A = this chain, B = another copy of it.
Amino acid sequence: MREYRSLLALEKPVSIAAWSSVVGKKEGEGPLGQCFDVIEPDAHLGKQTWEQAESELQRRTVDLLLTRACVSEEEVALMLAGDLINQCTSSTYALRHLDIPYLGLFSACATFAEGLLLGTMAVSGMGLPRCAVLTSSHFSSAERQFRFPLSYGGQRTPNAQWTCTAAGAAMLTQADDPPYIVGVCPGRIRDLGTTDASNMGAAMAPAAADTVLRYLSATGTAPEDYDAIVTGDLGTVGSRLFCELTARSGVDVSGVHRDCGVMMFDSERQDTHAGGSGCGCSASIICGYFLPRLRSGALRHVLYAATGALLSPMLCQQGESIPAICHLVHLAHEI
């Protein structure tokens, strides 16, 4: 553990000065609907294609972030962004009109946490004044890239998750206001052999357990020290596995575990089977639900463990299993 510890020690905590979240109609009709900044009624966002629509979703989210943070693009030293679409085009095309230095990321649905982690390095370690993090997902662009053409209308399996149409963005700074990022932990790739592209939760649960257990062990903390341990989007199936896997290591997370995939929808009423997924799922819920409560002090310590299934349709067709990863960010009201 010695080598990994060094990552956890931030010389200065980082403040999240502003954030924004924009979601689609279905997400807006879910239990958290009123938490999000904007609910877009049109899934096309006025664009011709699903890919352009997702890009427009990111563009609106980053524009709102800059407004909320009261800064111009020139004042942002770095943008960390990525998404699920091949070549990260949702981010690239959303950001090409901005003069902000940009680094592209790919961790599937763990992208927002990877961005927060690297942004923390940039602000805390390198002294950058301001760094933005952005990600998104869109049901229609993801579904047709990873599974079936939308018009195919295939039956979805009980374990399947619903890719959220949602985006989240955050502005990291050196300011001294809550909420803070006080710890980070990059994940290791875990692959226990799951090959079912409709059961992402099972593929991701081992990665979530690995990262959360490593962080608890390295910091000498227990689940009771946190108001919530929030996994990205394990859904109902993955969440059950996550609790089982951590319990096997003698750590009972069941009292504080929340999952963004489970939180996003009223699964029965909205017919979303095992829950939500997609980069935008946990990004929008962290920004819409958790950060405001961490600012006010209603929540004081939250572990955000974003999970990503590094699913490739091409490699799945070649018989490969699905590797997964989970990056962790420790959010706090106090330093």
Interface residues of A (CB under 8 A from B): 3-4, 6-7, 9-10, 48-49, 51-52, 74-78, 82, 85-89, 92-93, 95-96, 98-108, 114, 117-118, 121-122, 124-130, 185-191, 310-315, 318, 320, 323, 325, 327
Question: Given A118-B118, A312-B87, are A323 and B93 also a contact pair (CB < 8 Å)?
Answer: yes
Chain B residue with the shortest CB-CB distance to A311? B87
Residues of B contacting A7 with CB < 8 Å?
77-78, 101, 122, 126, 128
Residues of B contacting A78 with CB < 8 Å?
7, 186
Whether the pair A191, B312 counts as a contact (CB closer than 8 A) is no
A/B interface sample: 16 pairs, CB < 8 A: A3-B130, A4-B77, A6-B129, A7-B77, A7-B128, A51-B318, A89-B314, A92-B323, A93-B320, A96-B323, A101-B185, A104-B105, A105-B105, A105-B106, A106-B106, A121-B121
With A and B bound together, what is the CA distance between A312 and B92 in angstroms?
Answer: 10
With A and B bound together, what is the CA distance between A75 and B107 in angstroms?
Answer: 23
Whether the pair A104, B102 counts as a contact (CB closer than 8 A) is no
Question: Given A93-B323, A310-B89, are A102 and B189 also a contact pair (CB < 8 Å)?
Answer: yes
Most buried by B among A49, A101, A327: A101
Whether the pair A186, B121 counts as a contact (CB closer than 8 A) is no
A189 vs chain B, min Cβ distance (A) = 4
A263 vs chain B, min Cβ distance (A) = 25
Q: 6 new A-B pairs (CB below 8 Å) besides A98-B189, A102-B188? A: A4-B77, A6-B126, A85-B314, A92-B189, A96-B190, A103-B186
Question: Given A114-B103, A125-B126, A126-B121, are A6 and B86 also a contact pair (CB < 8 Å)?
Answer: no
Whether the pair A106, B82 counts as a contact (CB closer than 8 A) is yes
A-B CB proximity, top 9 nearest: A125-B125, A101-B186, A104-B106, A125-B126, A87-B312, A96-B189, A86-B86, A89-B312, A106-B106
Residues of B contacting A96 with CB < 8 Å?
189-191, 323
Whether the pair B48, A318 counts as a contact (CB closer than 8 A) is yes
Residues of B contacting A186 with CB < 8 Å?
78, 101-103
Residues of B contacting A310 with CB < 8 Å?
87-89, 92, 104
Residues of B contacting A95 with CB < 8 Å?
189
Whether the pair B101, A103 counts as a contact (CB closer than 8 A) is no
A74's contact among B3, B106, B108, B121, by CB below 8 Å, is which?
A: B3
A6's contact among B3, B77, B89, B102, by CB below 8 Å, is which?
A: B77
Chain B residue with the shortest CB-CB distance to A106? B104
With A and B bound together, what is the CA distance between A6 and B76 in angstroms?
Answer: 11
Whether the pair B103, A117 counts as a contact (CB closer than 8 A) is yes
Whether the pair B101, A4 counts as a contact (CB closer than 8 A) is yes
A323 vs chain B, min Cβ distance (A) = 5
